[in-house]
Chain A
Amino acid sequence: MLEVSRLRKVYGADPQAAPAIDDVTFSVADREFVCILGSSGCGKSTLLRCLSGLIPATSGEILLHGDPVLAPPKDMAFVFQDYSRSLLPWMTVARNVSFPLRYKGVSKEDAQKATEEALEAVGLSGRQKRYPWQLSGGMQQRVAIARALAYRPKILLMDEPFASLDAQTRFDLEDLLLDIWRRFDVTVLFITHDIDEAVYLADRVLVLEAPAKVALDVDIPLPRPRDQLKTKQLPEFAELRTRLFSAIQREPAAL
Chain B
Amino acid sequence: MRQPVKDKGGPPSVAVPETAAPGARAARRPATGAWPAKRADLGIKLAGVLVVLAIMELCSRLGVLPRDWFPPVTSMYAELFRLIVEQPLWVEIGRTLRAWAVGIGLAALLAVPCGVLLGSIPLAYRMARIVIEFCRPIPSVALIPLAVLVYGTGLEMKVFLITFATFWPLLFQTIYGVQDVDPVARDTARAYGLGPSARFWVITIPSAAPYIATGLRIAAAIGLVLGVTSELVGGAPGLGRAIAVAQSAGNVTLMYALIITTGLLGLTLNSAFAAVERKALRWHPAQRQEVAR
- By a beta-carbon cutoff of 8 Å, the part of chain A in contact with chain B is 49, 52, 54, 72, 74, 76-78, 80, 82, 84-86, 88-90, 99-100, 103-104, 127, 130-131, 133-139, 147, 151, 164-166, 168-169, 172
Contacts and interface: CB of A to CB of B under 8 A. Distances in A.
Contacts of B193: 72, 74, 100, 103-104
Secondary structure at the B interface, as helix, strand, loop or mixed, is loop
Interface string B3-42: 0000101111001111110111000000000000000000
Contact of B188 (A86, A103, A133, A135): A86
B81 interface: no
Q: Which of B16, B193, B288 is most buried by chain A, counting CB atoms within 10 A of its CB? A: B193
A72 B185 contact: no
Interface of B: 7, 9-12, 15-20, 22-24, 182, 184-185, 187-195, 198, 202-203, 206, 209, 281, 283-285, 288, 290-291
A82 B16 CA distance: 15
B288 A165 contact: no
Top 6 nearest A-B pairs by Cβ distance? A166-B15, A100-B192, A134-B23, A164-B11, A85-B184, A85-B9
Contact of A90 (B12, B18, B198, B283): B283
B188 A78 contact: yes
Given A72-B191, A100-B192, A138 B18 contact: yes
Given A54-B187, A138-B18, A103 B291 contact: no
A138 B19 CA distance: 9
Contacts of B20: 135-136
Contacts of A103: 192-195, 198
A76 B192 CA distance: 8
B184 A77 contact: no
A143 B290 CA distance: 21
Nearest to A82: B184
A84 B293 CA distance: 14
Nearest to B205: A90
Contacts of B291: 133-134
A80 B184 CA distance: 8
A133 B283 contact: yes
Given A90-B283, A135-B20, 18 more contacts: A54-B190, A72-B191, A72-B192, A78-B188, A80-B188, A85-B182, A86-B185, A88-B185, A103-B193, A130-B22, A131-B283, A133-B288, A134-B22, A134-B24, A135-B22, A151-B192, A169-B15, A169-B18
A121 to B, nearest CB: 16
A104 B192 CA distance: 8
Contacts of A131: 23, 283
Contact of A137 (B11, B24, B283, B285): B11
A230 B131 CA distance: 70
26 contacts: A72-B193, A76-B191, A77-B192, A78-B188, A80-B184, A82-B9, A84-B11, A88-B202, A88-B203, A88-B206, A90-B209, A100-B189, A100-B193, A100-B194, A103-B195, A103-B198, A133-B23, A133-B283, A135-B22, A136-B19, A136-B20, A147-B192, A164-B10, A166-B15, A168-B18, A169-B17
